[in-house]
Structure 1
Amino acid sequence: MASPSDSKAFLETEGKERIPCLFNPAELSLQLRNSWASDPMPGGVTPTLRYTGAGTGMLRLTLFFDTTDTGSAVTTYTAKLVGLLEVDSKLPGTKASSNNARPQWVVFHWGDFHSFKAVVASVDLTFEYFSSSGTPLRARAGLVLAQYQEDMAFGPQNPTSGTPRPHRVHRVQPGETLDRIAALHLGDATSWRVIAQANGVEDPLSVKPGTLLAIPGSA
């Protein structure tokens, strides 16, 4: 099996275009995070953190482009990266009347490494070398990819993305019932079955005070 160093890295766009990296990145920086909050406690007591949802995964990498061997402008390659920031009106879900449009997502591939579906959050482009006529021949592009969906994994062996869909967690209080909790978080008491199913609760009357329940779709 080929290792990443034996394979050329590339970006695959939502439109099935393949944007090659002339040189593989030296490193990849991956950030996965959860969000936590706390309420101030009197008397200097350290508060207990409360989980408020999952954060967006971020992938950072630097790509290097050099066309000094051919003398052609390196912008042939860098322009494709910049183009990933532009809104694409041909994408599914585009609706001009409501100004609903977006740039396309991408997936970064390098050997056995495959990123989540991501949108290009930023491109930090630096041109480092020019021909005598002013043609840019060498460039460095700092790329930040922000996770777009949770359905892509890192590598072929990992079945999860590492960043679950955000949800709220509720601690059951004495006297609370699932229908009351559903009304509180989902605005509909009859949605208690959704909470029960998400938490594997077979008997809604047997939920004990202090139990932590995930509330689907509340974030």
Structure 2
Amino acid sequence: LEMFFDASQQHDDALVKSVEKLFASCVPTQASHDQKKDSPPWVLFRWGSLTAFLAYISAVQVRYTLFTAGGLPIRAVCTVTLEEIAGEAPRQNPTSGGIVPRREHVVVHGDTLAGIAYAEYGDTSLWRAVAVV
């Protein structure tokens, strides 16, 4: 995505501040760092009413094209690389996302906790663990 910045009417540091904001948006936020999931801030890219998607800015390149007599940049072209943030995939069936059982045991009349412990773990002394489950 190319962005054109023109501050030729202002002759101040507004363009520099705008470009610095773009570069800052590539840095992981403190909140994401605290959660040990470093991620730059998310942005919502909107192109009129046609397109909108959630993304993060992964790279910024800037080319300054016009300067004041004092050397202050007042015109620039920025190339911004956006990476779309994938939404949650739709579930395929009603049980999607549920806990996947490792194994099962059907309790029938006459079963005891010690008997189930022996059948499942080979040790009758583990009946308390079965009782918790």
Q: TM-score, normalised by structure 1?
A: 0.38
The answer to whether the 8 Å contact 1:126/1:139 transfers is yes
Q: C-alpha separation between the residues in 2 aligned to 1:75 and 1:150?
A: 34
Q: Report the counterpart of residue 144 of structure 1 in structure 2.
A: 81
Separation in structure 1 between the aligned mates of residue 34 and residue 38 of structure 2, nearest angstrom: 5
1:144 corresponds to which letter in structure 2?
Answer: T
CA contact (8 A) 1:126 1:140 kept: yes
Q: Classify the secondary structure of the residue corresponding to 2:31.
A: coil
Query: How much does 1:69 deviate?
Result: 0.5
Q: Aligned ranges for residues 123-162 of structure 1 at < 5 Å?
A: 123-150=60-87
- Matching residue of 1:180: none
Q: Which residue of 2 aligns with 1:62?
A: 2
Which has the bigger relative contact order, CA under 8 A and spacing at least 6? 2
- CA–CA distance in structure 1, aligned partners of residues 19 and 25 of structure 2: 10
RMSD value, Cα: 2.8
| CA deviation after TM superposition for structure 1 residue 188, in Å | 6.2
Report what 1:110 is aligned to.
Answer: 47
**CA distance in 2: counterparts of 1:188 and 1:146, whole angstroms:** 36
Please name the residue that 1:87 is paired with: 28
Contact 1:123 1:143 in 2 (8 A): yes
Q: Is the Cα contact below 8 Å between 1:116 and 1:149 reproduced in 2?
A: no
Whole-angstrom distance in 2 between the partners of 1:94 and 1:101 = 8
**Identity between Structure 1 and Structure 2 (%):** 23
Match of 2:113 in 1: none
Runs of 4 or more, structure 1, over 6 Å off, are 187-190
Q: Distance in 1 between matches of 2:50 and 2:61?
A: 23
The structure having more radius of gyration, on CA atoms, is 2
Residue aligning to 1:7: none
Residue number in structure 1 paired with 2:114: none
Contact 2:41 2:56 in 1 (8 A): yes
Question: Alpha carbons of 1:94 and 1:113: their partners in 2 closer, same or farther (altered >3 Å)?
Answer: farther
- Cα deviations across residues 114-147 of structure 1 (Å, max 9, x unaligned)? 4221111211111111111010100101111111
Stretches of structure 2 that go unaligned for 5 or more consecutive residues are: 90-99, 104-133
1:78 pairs with 6, 15, 19, which one?
A: 19
Offset, 1:189: 6.8
Aligned pair count reads: 95
Per-residue CA deviation, residues 143-165 of structure 1 (Å, 9 max, x unaligned), is: 111111226xxxxxxxxxxxxx4
- Provide the secondary structure at the position in 2 that maps to 1:117: strand
Q: Please, what TM-score do these two structures have when normalized by structure 2?
A: 0.60
CA separation in 1, counterparts of 2:21 and 2:5? 12
